[in-house]
């Protein structure tokens, strides 16, 4: 048996070993934090930048250096003017010169502000393009999924392929937006079905149209996100988050208001959620919209654009307008079916043969199966 001294020594060794492991973990966390934080601080705080990393000097930077010298000379000129103004017995006579100098400095300030904003935008875009391109070329951390799905291409590569190929859906034109609307209407329903199954263990319709697994809310959301985020496709993720949060919340609020105002129903209600606005939107889902903005612009949109590029010009235009006709017909029929469903709920009898046909074609059982989450207000 071990003596008390041996037991005490064993306990002490265990304590020392735990302390050493804790120290190593803290050092590892500090190293990781330093690797993540220091690059950001170097960009934000000039004193933390490494002079060896700043060897490239652009012509614009040289111009700004000369501008600093010009500002120093202007400060000297201002001092001379201040002396003349202070020594003048009739400063009122210098009013025109004072006004001219003040307006000139304000115009200069406006020009400098615009130049500063453009400089920060350029710095953000250069970094974002590089990060997107390097990430697109990295191997996926999920070997099986990576082989099936692959990394999303960089938006800069998509832009180049569209311009060089003179594609029918290049840039942000009507063809691309319509195709995004169609694909988004289908993909959104699929994602919601999977989420419903994972969360509740059963499949339930999330369609918004009577024909096919399509929901225009997702399609319109994808198209609107693309319209507002497209100009930031080669910028940092923080812009995608902020714009996605604002745009997604606005679209969600408008859709909820429109559905309740014109159809008398609501498909979602956040009244029980904290920091909600009329139960139509809430802070939590607004934050989700922000992350969705990043996911959309940096991952889903480039995949979708890469898929659209593969569609031949001739057949692509025909397919776009054929699908437009289908979705328009589907939306009109869905609207009429929902209106008649609401009429049956409120006890309104069909007034003619057309509405009797709608009752026969779209009975309550079918409508409840399609619009499983719809609640009449």
- Spans of all domains in the chain: 4-49, 71-134, 155-376
Residue-level pLDDT at 47: 46
Tell me if 298 sits within 8 A of 152, measured CB to CB.
yes
Q: What is the DSSP pairing of strand 281-282 with strand 276-277?
A: antiparallel
The 10s digit of each residue's pLDDT in 104-142 is 889 988 988 888 888 888 888 888 888 888 888 876 665
- Does residue 3 surpass a pLDDT of 90? no
Structure tokens at 84: 């003349």
Cβ-Cβ contacts under 8 Å for 348 (sequence gap 6 or more):
none
Residue-level pLDDT at 40: 47
Residue-level pLDDT at 335: 92
- Does residue 217 surpass a pLDDT of 90? no
Percent of the chain at pLDDT exceeding 90: 17
Q: Tell me the pLDDT band of 45, cut-offs 50, 70 and 90.
A: very low
What distances in angstroms separate CA 372 from CA 131, 152, 186, 193, one per listed residue?
A: 43, 34, 17, 12
Q: What number is the average pLDDT over the span 273-283?
A: 89
The 10s digit of each residue's pLDDT in 299-313 is 989 998 888 888 888
Residue-level pLDDT at 147: 55
- Does residue 91 surpass a pLDDT of 60? yes
216-231 b/e (C-beta count within 10 Å ≥ 16 → b)? bbbbbbbbbbbebbbe
Cβ-Cβ contacts under 8 Å for 267 (sequence gap 6 or more):
256, 259, 371, 373, 374, 375
Residue-level pLDDT at 353: 92
Residue-level pLDDT at 331: 94
Q: Tell me the pLDDT band of 34, cut-offs 50, 70 and 90.
A: low
pTM: 0.68
Structure tokens at 8: 């005490």
DSSP assigned state of 270: -
- Does residue 89 surpass a pLDDT of 70? yes
Smallest Cα–Cα separation from 208: which of 346, 359, 333? 333
What distances in angstroms separate CA 74 from CA 77, 79, 104, 288, 289, one per listed residue?
A: 5, 9, 12, 50, 48
Q: Tell me the pLDDT band of 207, cut-offs 50, 70 and 90.
A: confident
Residue-level pLDDT at 319: 93
Residue-level pLDDT at 146: 53
First-residue to last-residue Cα distance in the chain: 78
Q: What is the DSSP pairing of strand 375-376 with strand 276-277?
A: unpaired
Instruction: Using CB atoms within 10 Å of the CB of residue 160, give its burial: 0 to 12 exposed, 13 to 18 middle, 19+ buried.
Output: exposed
Residue-level pLDDT at 242: 92
- Does residue 12 surpass a pLDDT of 70? yes
């Amino acid at each position: 048996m071990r003596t008390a001294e041996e037991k005490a020594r064993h306990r002490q060794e265990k304590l020392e070993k735990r302390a050493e492991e804790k120290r190593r973990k803290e050092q590892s966390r500090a190293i990781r934090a330093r690797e993540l934080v220091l690059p950001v601080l170097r960009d934000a705080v000039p004193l933390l930048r490494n002079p060896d990393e700043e060897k490239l000097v652009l012509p614009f930077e040289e111009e700004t250096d000369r501008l600093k010298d010009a500002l120093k000379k202007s400060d000297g000129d201002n001092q001379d003017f201040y002396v003349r103004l202070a020594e003048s017995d009739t400063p009122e006579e210098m009013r025109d010169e004072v006004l001219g100098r003040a307006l000139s400095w304000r115009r200069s300030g406006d020009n400098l502000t615009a130049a500063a904003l453009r400089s920060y935008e350029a710095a953000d875009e250069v970094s974002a393009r590089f990060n997107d391109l390097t990430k697109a070329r990295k191997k996926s951390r999920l070997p099986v999924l990576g082989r099936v799905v692959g990394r999303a291409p960089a938006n800069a590569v998509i832009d180049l392929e569209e311009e060089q190929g003179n594609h029918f859906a290049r840039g942000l034109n009507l063809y691309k937006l319509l195709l995004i609307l169609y694909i988004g209407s289908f993909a959104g329903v699929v994602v919601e079905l999977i989420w419903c199954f994972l969360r509740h263990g059963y499949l339930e319709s999330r369609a918004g149209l009577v024909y096919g697994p399509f929901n225009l809310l997702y399609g319109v959301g994808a198209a609107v996100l693309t319209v507002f985020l497209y100009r930031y496709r080669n910028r940092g993720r923080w812009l995608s988050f902020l714009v996605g949060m604002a745009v997604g919340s606005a679209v969600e609020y408008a859709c909820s208001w429109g559905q309740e105002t014109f159809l008398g129903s609501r498909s979602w209600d956040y009244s029980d959620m904290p920091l909600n606005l009329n139960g139509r939107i809430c802070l939590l889902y607004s934050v989700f919209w922000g992350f969705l903005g990043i996911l959309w612009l940096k991952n889903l949109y480039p995949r979708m654009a890469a898929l659209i590029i593969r569609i031949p010009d001739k057949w692509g235009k025909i397919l776009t307008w054929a699908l437009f006709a289908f979705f328009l017909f589907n939306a009109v029929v869905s609207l009429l079916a929902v209106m008649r469903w609401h009429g049956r709920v409120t006890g309104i009898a069909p007034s003619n043969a057309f509405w009797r046909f709608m009752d026969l074609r779209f009975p309550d059982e079918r409508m409840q199966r399609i619009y499983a989450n719809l609640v009449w207000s």
